[in-house]
A and B are shown apart, each in its own frame.
Chain A
Amino acid sequence: MRYLPLTDIDREDMLARIGVSDVDALFSDVPAGKLLKAPVDLPRAKGELEVERILGKMAGKNTAASAVPFFVGAGAYKHHVPATVDHLIQRSEFLTSYTPYQPEIAQGTLQYLFEFQTQVAALTGMEVANASMYDGSTGTGEAVLMAHRVTRRRKAVLSGGLHPHYTAVVETLSEMANDEVVALTPDVSASEDILSQIDDSTSCVVVQSPDVFGNLRDLKPIAEKAHAHGALLIAVFTEVVSLGAVVPPGAQDADIVVGEGQSIGNALNFGGPYVGLFAAKSKYIRQMPGRLCGETVDSTGQRGFVLTLSTREQHIRRDKATSNICTNSGLCVLAFTIHMTLLGQTGLARLAEVNHANAVKLADALAGVEGVAVLNDSFFNEFTVKLKKPAAEVVEVLAAKGILAGVPVSRLLPRAGLDDLLIVASTEVNTDEDRAALVAALVEVL
């Protein structure tokens, strides 16, 4: 077995030094009869070539986003990631390191976490950010719990424009803890009356912008009403590139901002690993979940970084902790930080502009197809169209033609009666040819 350095002679030698006759003597605490006598019923060890073949075959059965005209979004986005990013995150000392519990030999990890926190704070327009969450959806769940701790109330109001999976994550957590959730009906026109849902028992209002249907939302009036009732505004985004083009939630007085960071530096990965972004007003630092990296000095006065405010964390506060989170998304954070460093604000703004331009071109092209209506007034790189046939069927037919057209709303919200709606995303990877192919195929199918 190529990964195991011990030889049989080593093993014998070591057992002798320990003073036992065979290795099973070291498993003597395993109850009688429970120690397996033989290997379990799985295939035996395989060489590198064979493993590559097996997994290559599985991978080959899937349609990769880069191989086809691709317009699928709704929470995860296909972007171009510079080659530098993947090269750097595979540096051994990044890839194979652990949580930086020994800061003197983990300054590489700690410094990029500090840079990441600063980048996220700047992007969202907030005062502080943590060193990442698992993803946007679990981050949203944690934000709601945090709002409950801050306000000592337990009712969350969720916008109908929140990604239905995010809503489900919050509902699952709340159901378990007996907290109350008011989830508004999904409404593609973003004309929901969320203000009337806010009262003195509300802990937080959760609003996504751009929302799951692509609409850009005005958060300020919601923040005002929430604050008037002592509630917090949690602003959510699933496409971080949008922050290069739109007013950040911090400028609209959000209290907590959570989002999905996958778009910057990270691949689609069929759903994970991704990276959750989490920022807040600094007065709430001690209620924030997850890891935080802070600046300090060493014994000679030189600047350095450490994990800090750990008195909020599970390993000290146990059942009183702000969260049970232990692992974060370290390597995904690194990919994010490197890609964001390459972009800078100039590159990010340009990337956002190209995303928006491509989406506008696509919307205009689709609007010209008979049987297609574009429903959004304003959007960033994603919008919703109404088709004259069930969207799931259309998507399936187009997939067979080698075009991945988008996400049918019925996939996210079965039985919501929104079967004719399709969420379409466009990024910098889409070309004129991709758009023409989609339009031509839709003309044929509809």
Chain B
Amino acid sequence: MLNRQGRPTQAGEASHEEHLTFTGNKALQQVEPLIFEIGHHESTGVDIDKPAPFKSRLGKHARQGEIGLPGLSEPETMRHFVRLSQKNYGIDTGLFPLGSCTMKHNARLNEKVARLPGFSDVHPLQPTSTVPGALDLMLELARYLMTLTGMPAVALSPKAGAHGEACGMMAIKAAIAAKGEGATRNVVLVPESAHGTNPATAALIGFSVKAVPARPDGTVAVEDVKALLGPDIAAIMLTNPNTCGIFEPQIVEIAAAMHEAGAYFYCDGANFNAIVGKARPGDLGVDAMHINLHKTFSTPHGGGGPGAGPVVLSERLAPFAPVPFIHVENGKPHLVESRGEAPAGNQPFGRMTAFHGQMGMYVRALAYMLSHGSDGMRQASEDAVLNANYIRAGLSDLMSLPFPDHPSMHEVLFDDEWLKGSGVSTLDFAKAMIDEGYHPMTVYFPLVVHGAMLIEPTESESKAALDLFIATLRDLAIAAKGNDKERFTSAPHHAPIRRLDETRAARSPVLKWEKPAAAKAAE
């Protein structure tokens, strides 16, 4: 029966049977509709006074009709986004062992200083005479990066790691062209175990890609590289420490072989955090390497970005660095913003992005480096490596190591050999970790091993946190090998949402909210 407002008057009349609760909410886990379902076109959460009447200069370009965007009041906005945040896992929530992604402590000091108006509230095109402190900061960041890598030059402007890869490879391409070999040197070697961004980057800027096989021990052998060398080889893109968590033992020989063949050595620096203060890429023969400031020097990852990907360059590549860059003359920093303004000896290959790069990330990274200091950064690398090997020692009797012959650097790689016959996949195991309150490790990467599980604890985990993590994973591993398959294949059970159908999302993509047909018809 319904009352006059059309509401049910007896228990059971409401259509909530599919949920455990009437509303679908579970205590702190709130079902949160989309803003398009709760907002109104008339609502707004800002108070802006109507301007006094004036004569528009938009001409015939003035917009007619609705934009189709709802608004929410300030309290509604606050509640909506707070509730959304509660459905997320972050490094502040708990251990986030995503190998290759490096989720370490994000100090709030970094956030505080990045928000100083002298950094956050300055425009990239205001006169450089009004931003000497910003130029100082860029120079200081550059000095830190060059010192840590042992490289003579750095290009700051790339906006993310992959953008940095493009920058480094463009510098290589420009250097090859300057030697008159542009037409012939057009092949880039990329190991099978490389990040997918490496071959994508090489292809993006017009190189063709040749794969270097991975050795059974997870490393790249200099003989394999040498066998592929020829006058057509422009460069190799090698990750070090590599994506299997191993420091490439033959890196110096590989670099020398590349140089001897007239080619260049691009190092993917995504895993630089394992060796900061312990080894310098410049000493290994690297010509170009990007540094993910957001990983190595802990700026917030914010759901996938923003990143920042400065590139350090060898003497041979330095002249080709893109604009803008800071040129110091007579002790005075000067911003070079176009190719034509470049001082003698420089042949910038072009421009990567509209302005000077990710200033907000520079501030955070420098705050991190100042806080740690040379001693702290070295200690951080050692602790990251120690933590990874501690996890390895705690789990390797239960879980299989594809490459047992090398120590793990900052991350330890397991495969799914140990799960054989259990009916539990790597993905199932990862989802079961969610039920235990952990973000899963990186799964199915690197591609060179079957069912990869790449665990990176970083230096910011305590021994107690690692001990609990190891104990939990041991219990899970024993359950997975026992007869507890269902616990894994239907996991997660306790997340805000159960396992999602990714195939359906890809087969019939729904990429934005559409007004339901009934509401459309009613209009």
Contacts and interface: CB of A to CB of B under 8 A. Distances in A.
B501 interface: yes
Most chain A Cβ neighbours within 10 Å, of B64, B81, B96, B284: B81
A109 B88 CA distance: 7
A218 B56 CA distance: 17
Contacts of A291: 304
A331 B283 contact: no
For chain A, the bracket of interface size reads 35 or more
Given A267-B120, A270-B124, A272-B356, A345 B500 contact: no
Interface string A304-316: 1110111101111
B59 A378 contact: yes
6 contacts: A63-B122, A88-B82, A299-B500, A324-B204, A347-B48, A380-B58
Contacts of B376: 1, 3-4, 44-45
Interface string A255-296: 000001000000111111101000000000100000111111
Contacts of B459: 3-4, 6
Given A267-B121, A344-B39, A356-B58, 12 more contacts: A42-B147, A61-B118, A97-B88, A104-B496, A118-B36, A128-B512, A271-B357, A294-B511, A305-B500, A332-B306, A341-B45, A378-B57
A30 B498 contact: no
Given A39-B378, A134-B353, A216 B61 contact: yes
Contacts of A368: none
Given A88-B78, A138-B159, A296-B502, A341 B71 contact: yes
B82 A119 contact: no
Contacts of B58: 216, 245-246, 356, 378, 380
B5 interface: no
B269 to A, nearest CB: 14
Given A30-B247, A91-B81, A344-B39, A63 B46 contact: no
Interface stretch (A15-23, A191-199, A433-441): A15-23
Interface in B87-139: 87-93, 96, 98, 101, 103, 105-107, 109, 111-113, 115-127, 129-134, 136-137
A228 interface: no
A72 B72 contact: no
Interface string A405-421: 00100011011000000
B341 A61 contact: no
Interface residues of B, number: 214
Contacts of B275: 27, 30
Contacts of B462: 5-6, 10
A171 interface: yes
Nearest to A321: B200
Contact of B367 (A55, A65, A404): A55
A64 B140 CA distance: 20
Given A97-B301, A118-B512, A298 B119 contact: no
B52 A3 contact: no
Nearest to B302: A331
Contact of A360 (B56, B130, B202, B248): B56
A270 B137 CA distance: 11
Nearest 4 interchain pairs by C-beta: A344-B71, A331-B302, A271-B355, A59-B118
B511 A98 contact: no
B337 A411 contact: yes
**B106, B160, B394 interface centre (most CB from chain A within 10 Å):** B160
A161 interface: no
B200 A269 contact: no
Contact of B166 (A40, A272, A324): A324
A40 to B, nearest CB: 5
Contacts of A348: 67, 69
A129 B84 CA distance: 21
B359 interface: yes
A134 B419 CA distance: 40
Given A40-B277, A91-B85, A345-B69, A319 B200 contact: yes
Nearest to A322: B200
Contacts of A351: 46, 48
Contacts of B445: 315
Interface string B55-75: 111111111101111111010
A329 interface: yes
Interface in B385-439: 385-387, 389-390, 392-394, 406-409, 430-431, 434, 439
A299 B123 contact: no
B496 A84 contact: no
A108 B88 contact: yes
Interface in A81-124: 82, 84, 86, 88-109, 111-115, 117-119, 121-123
B64 A1 contact: no
B206 A52 contact: no
Interface stretch (B7-15, B257-265, B344-352, B472-480): B344-352
A327 B504 CA distance: 24
